[in-house]
Amino acid sequence: MIDGRTGTPRQAGHAAWPPVGLAPHCCPACGSRDASAGAIARRAALPQPIATALLLAPSLTGREHAAFELLGLGYDNRSIARMLSISERTAKRHVTAILTKLRLESRLQAGLTAMLMNLATQAEPSARTQRADARASHDEII
């Protein structure tokens, strides 16, 4: 696991870690090999909570990660629920779990962190998120 426990982020359950092009212990924001939250905050000029969240993001489950990506795209709980084909209550629980696991205080911090992760890894949204986005667009048309 991460944050004082042994192991790598990959062992924490996130298959997409490390992002393409980064070594396992690199900072997602700046590419530094010193991936402590303090080092990330100093080198990338990020607020400490967001730097910490970048390190803890691999601990999210697959569904939480999909909800996390959608938060980064600015969606509310109702839209996240519709896009992931889950109840609004489940979407709210995913968002709460994201805030807890990433030690964030608000949806805004979570959304900014998700946006930074997508920018830092230069990754397109996951296939699951793209399918959910297409489904939401289809629902809006109908």
pLDDT of residue 63: 92
Q: What is the chain's mean pLDDT, rounded?
A: 69
For 31, the token pair is: 């590419």
Given a cut of 50, is residue 8 above it in pLDDT? no
Give residue limits of the domains in the chain: 48-141
pLDDT of residue 25: 47
CB burial of residue 74 (10 Å; 0-12, 13-18, 19+): exposed
Mean pLDDT of 85-110: 92
Given a cut of 80, is residue 98 above it in pLDDT? yes
The pLDDT-based confidence of 116 (bands split at 50, 70, 90) is confident
Given a cut of 60, is residue 44 above it in pLDDT? no
- Residue with the bigger pLDDT between 48 and 29: it is 48
Q: What is the pTM of this model?
A: 0.54
Cα separation, 83 vs 130, whole angstroms: 9
The pLDDT-based confidence of 133 (bands split at 50, 70, 90) is low
What is the DSSP-derived secondary structure letter of residue 62?
H
Mean pLDDT of 116-135: 64
- Report H helices in the chain: 37-44, 48-56, 62-72, 77-84, 88-101, 107-121, 127-141
CATH of domain 48-141: 1.10.10.10
Cα separation, 101 vs 6, whole angstroms: 17
Given a cut of 90, is residue 12 above it in pLDDT? no
What is the DSSP-derived secondary structure letter of residue 124?
P
